[in-house]
C-alpha cells in the first residue's frame, strides 16, 4: 500500500521528472519494490518503448540488483534486492558507515517473512532494529527527541494547571465566557435572519415602475 501511495505523487511524467531531478534514488526490498521501480521508470521513460524493454529485461533478473542513470534529468536509480527486513537494516548500516546517503530512499519488505518465517517475535525484533537504524541516519534525531520531551513536559504542566484551577473554582470564568459567547451567537443569528427576511421581502425597482405606470401617475417636468 505504501508503494501505491508514493506513486500518487508521481501521477504524470513531468511531475516525476521534477521531483527526482538531480537525485540519487534508492529502492530496496522484495518483488513489490521491484515492481515499484518499474512503475517509476515507466513514468520517466514511458516515451521510449525500446529503452523500457531493455529496462524490464535487466530489472527482472532473478534475485539481483539493478542500476540505471537517466542523464536527461541527472538522476541515478539503484534497486537493491533486500527481501528480508534484516537486509534493509544491513543496508542502512552500510550507509551510516560510509556516510553517503541517497536523496530519496524507498524501502519495502515483509512478503518473504510471511512466506518463510513464522515467528512473530522475531519479526517484531527485526522491525525494531530497522527502526533504530533508520532513526540513527537522521542528524537531527537528537533534536526531535528533545523537542518531544519538551512537548510532553509542557502538556503535563498545562494539564496540572487546569486541574488545579478547576478544583479552586477556576471554572467560573469558563462559565461566564460560555454564557457571553452564547448570547453573541444568538444576537448574530438573529441579525442574519433579519437581513435575509428584508432581502426576501424587498420590492424591486422594476416592480415599482410597472406599478406606477398602471396607477396613472404623471411625472412633473423639471423634477427628478
Sketch the domain layout of the chain as residue ranges: 2-137
> Is residue 8 over pLDDT 50?
no
Cα separation, 99 vs 139, in Å, equals: 11
Mind listing the pLDDT tens digit for each residue in 75-93? Answer: 899 999 988 888 888 888 8
**Which helix H or strand E contains 53, and what residues bound it?**
helix 49-59
Cα separation, 132 vs 126, in Å, equals: 10
* Mean of pLDDT values over 113-142: 72
* pLDDT value for 80: 92
* pLDDT value for 194: 83
* pLDDT value for 211: 59
> Is residue 163 over pLDDT 70?
no
pLDDT level of residue 66 (50, 70, 90 thresholds): very high
SS3 73: coil
0.75 exceeded by the pTM? no
> Is residue 13 over pLDDT 70?
no
Task: Collect all residues with Cβ–Cβ distance below 8 Å to 56 and sequence separation of at least 6.
Answer: 38
Amino acid at each position: 500500500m505504501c508503494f501505491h501511495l508514493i506513486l500518487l505523487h508521481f501521477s504524470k511524467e513531468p511531475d516525476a521528472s521534477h521531483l527526482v531531478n538531480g537525485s540519487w534514488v534508492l529502492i530496496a526490498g522484495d518483488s513489490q519494490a521491484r515492481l515499484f521501480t518499474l512503475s517509476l521508470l515507466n513514468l520517466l521513460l514511458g516515451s521510449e518503448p525500446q529503452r523500457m524493454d531493455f529496462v524490464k529485461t535487466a530489472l527482472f533478473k532473478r534475485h539481483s540488483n539493478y542500476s540505471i542513470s537517466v542523464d536527461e534529468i541527472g538522476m541515478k536509480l539503484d534497486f537493491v534486492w533486500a527481501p528480508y527486513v534484516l537486509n534493509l537494516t544491513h543496508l542502512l548500516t552500510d550507509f551510516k558507515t560510509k556516510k553517503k546517503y541517497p536523496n530519496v530512499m524507498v524501502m519495502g519488505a515483509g512478503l518473504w517473512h510471511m512466506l518463510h518465517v513464522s515467528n512473530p517475535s522475531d519479526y517484531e525484533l527485526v522491525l525494531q532494529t530497522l527502526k533504530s537504524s533508520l532513526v540513527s541516519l537522521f542528524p537531527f534525531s537528537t533534536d526531535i527527541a528533545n523537542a518531544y520531551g519538551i512537548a510532553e513536559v509542557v502538556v503535563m504542566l498545562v494539564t496540572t494547571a487546569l486541574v488545579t484551577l478547576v478544583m479552586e473554582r477556576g471554572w467560573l470564568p469558563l462559565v461566564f465566557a460560555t454564557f457571553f459567547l452564547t448570547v453573541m451567537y444568538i444576537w448574530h443569528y438573529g441579525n442574519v435572519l433579519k437581513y435575509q427576511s428584508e432581502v426576501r421581502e424587498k420590492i424591486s425597482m422594476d416592480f415599482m415602475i410597472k406599478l406606477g405606470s398602471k396607477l396613472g401617475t404623471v411625472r412633473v417636468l423639471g423634477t427628478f
